[in-house]
Amino acid sequence: MEIFGSTFDDSVFLEEKSRVSVTLSSYNAKLCEPEWFCDSAALDTDDSLERQKVYKFRADLAVRQGNYQKALDAYSSCLEWIADNNLTIRRDVLEGMARCCTRLGQKDRALELAEILSKEASNTCHLTSLLLLKVTIYQHFGVVGSTMLCLQQLCNLLPFNPWHWYNLGQTCLQLLESKTTTGSCPPQRCESTEEQDDGETEEQQEAAEPDEDRIWLKACTCFIRTRLLLRILRQQQSSFVLQRSENALQTTDEVLQRLNPKDTTLQAITEVMSEDLIPEKMREDSQDGESLTSLCLQSFRERWWNKILLTGALDTDGSQHRPQTDTKS
């Protein structure tokens, strides 16, 4: 009886075929002058790929120079020459156009381009880029409610990324400061009319008509989660990356001191927000590049917020939940 794995394939004992050496023909590398693509002669070609490169390089340079209208025009021309199967460059160009429209104050056009990207998104990397783009657009136009919803979706998608939690906390502070200063939320800052990807109408309503105590609690929650994640990740960091984390930790501690949660509230939130912070689970939950067709995510409310409310961290008397000092970070 043969033991499984004890036999050898006959090919192991065959003589190695003699290799035939191939002499490569001489190769002359193409030399390009700096900003060669800016020359009008660069477009004197029928090669669609070359034209695409020229317009793309021109657009990227214009963005660096701060000439967003010129960049938008170049991106638009580039789009006409992109092959149908070149989805990576197409997404890059569409995102560049959306960012240029944002800088030029063209909010509707920027959101239209974001919607095109949304329909073409096929994996979590695409969705992450899309949400970051939407955050940029909404932040630029002061739409705090929609900014919060996009950041919450980023926290759902990448729950172990401390910077999304940090940015969500900062957005809550911005909204809390606005309500504290004016006594109400300015309509243009709380606008949340855009349809969100996960259809969470209850969260949309909460973002559009935020309650001050809930904003305060969500800010505390985000900064506590940020602190927990940064403390774990800094053990693997060094150099400027570690310095950035240390600076963020210091800022987070200072903000929590100003928000001034009670010890019982702080403990309750910490327990809920640290439940999934297990090294093995953090590795298993990595969804980078996963197809959206198989992706199943709980909403921010289901995964964290309802649990926070059930702890009693927010009682009916909200007076104790006011920060003792200004919430500016």
pLDDT score for 78: 97
Cα distance between residue 104 and residue 100, in whole Å: 6
The answer to whether the CB of 180 falls within 8 A of the CB of 219 is no
Cα distance between residue 25 and residue 170, in whole Å: 59
Exposed, middle or buried, 310 (CB in 10 Å: 0-12/13-18/19+)? exposed
Residue 316, SS3? Answer: coil
pLDDT score for 319: 46
Cα distance between residue 97 and residue 164, in whole Å: 24
User: Is 53 within the bounds of a domain?
Assistant: yes
Domain count, the chain: 1
pTM: 0.81
The answer to whether the CB of 313 falls within 8 A of the CB of 166 is no
Q: If phi over 0 gives left and psi between -120 and 50 gives alpha, with beta otherwise, what is residue 142?
A: left
User: Is 204 within the bounds of a domain?
Assistant: no
User: Is 98 within the bounds of a domain?
Assistant: yes
Exposed, middle or buried, 80 (CB in 10 Å: 0-12/13-18/19+)? exposed
Of 139, 93, 144, 149, nearest to 116 (Cα)?
93
pLDDT score for 57: 96
Radius of gyration over every alpha carbon of the chain, rounded to an integer in angstroms: 26
Cα distance between residue 234 and residue 57, in whole Å: 37
User: Is 44 within the bounds of a domain?
Assistant: yes
User: Is 72 within the bounds of a domain?
Assistant: yes
Of 273, 167, 284, 173, nearest to 229 (Cα)?
273
pLDDT score for 192: 42
Helices (H), the chain: 48-65, 68-80, 87-103, 107-120, 124-140, 144-157, 162-182, 187-190, 201-208, 212-233, 239-259, 263-273, 279-284, 300, 306-310
Take residue 303 and report the two structure tokens written for it.
């995964």
> pLDDT (tens digit, 9 = 90+) per residue, 255-272?
999 999 999 999 999 999
pLDDT score for 196: 42
Query: What does the pLDDT profile of the chain (329 residues) look like in tens digits?
Result: 444 455 556 665 666 666 677 777 777 887 888 999 999 888 989 999 999 999 999 999 999 999 999 999 999 999 999 998 999 999 999 999 999 999 999 999 999 999 999 999 999 999 999 999 999 999 999 999 999 999 999 999 999 999 999 999 999 999 888 776 665 555 444 444 444 444 445 566 555 556 889 999 999 999 999 999 999 999 889 999 999 999 999 999 999 999 999 999 999 999 999 999 987 777 766 666 688 877 788 899 999 999 999 988 876 444 445 554 444 44
User: Is 160 within the bounds of a domain?
Assistant: no
pLDDT score for 26: 75
Length of the chain (residues): 329
The answer to whether the CB of 305 falls within 8 A of the CB of 263 is no
pLDDT score for 159: 94
User: Is 164 within the bounds of a domain?
Assistant: no
- CATH number, residue 53: 1.25.40.10
Residue 63 belongs to domain spanning? 40-120
Q: Longest Cα pair distance anywhere in the chain, in angstroms? A: 86
User: Is 49 within the bounds of a domain?
Assistant: yes
pLDDT score for 329: 42
The answer to whether the CB of 129 falls within 8 A of the CB of 91 is yes
Of 107, 278, 281, nearest to 194 (Cα)?
107
Which amino acid, one-letter code, is at 42?
A
123: β partners: 291
Q: How many CB atoms lie within 10 A of CB 294?
A: 8
> pLDDT (tens digit, 9 = 90+) per residue, 267-304?
999 999 999 998 777 776 666 668 887 778 889 999 99
